[in-house]
Structure 1
Amino acid sequence: MDLSVRNDLTCQVRDVLDRVGDKWTLNVVYQLRDGSRRFTDLKRSIEGISQRMLTVTLRNLERDGLVERTVHAVVPPRVDYELTEMGQTLLKTAWELIDWAERHAEDIAHARVRYDAIP
């Protein structure tokens, strides 16, 4: 593989990992696990997220093809968000990571105590 192509791919992967690893993305993906949700429902269910941050996160997820936004022509306007097929695969992958973290949480806590005790 050409080095410039590899560097481009590395940058793209880093960009995706930065998005998924930010403070809010997995929270939003998790909240959409059971199907479509309205913006206000999402805002209420994610503690500490501002309206602006939720908007930015949803837009980024939509841009990346992980979330689909549906606008309903009603008064007042109603907008729903749901995971795309690719978004569902992210959710599955995130669940594997969460499962790993739960299985190893005590081991990590003990390792930290041992490490912090080293002079």
Structure 2
Amino acid sequence: MVKKSKSKIKKKKKSINKKIKRKIKKYATKYNAKIGCWNCDEIYTIKIVKGINVPEYLQTMNPKCRRCECKTLRIYAEYKMEKEILRELILHTRLEQSHEVQHPPSDHSHYG
């Protein structure tokens, strides 16, 4: 009696929800996001459906780079920061190596 009507209502709600989700996917607005490839240093923008953030998109879709077709894409802010840190580390090690060449450590000097 009453139970049958409730189950019909639930089925109708599910079908309506599916239709709404399809419409959202079909007419969803998109936004542009910058990403960078760690392998080839290519920076470009991609279009992402609103409601999904960039890290979530990169994890779920796992897109390939347009140039080298690798899967090392990162968010632009992270990409830029990591490249900057790497550049500083390389410069620091080069400075240390050049300093060691100019002033090699001697066995006769000691402290204390």
TM norm structure 2: 0.31
Return the index of the structure with the highest Cα Rg: 2
The structure carrying a bigger helix percent of its residues is 1
The structure carrying a bigger strand percent of its residues is 2
TM norm structure 1: 0.30
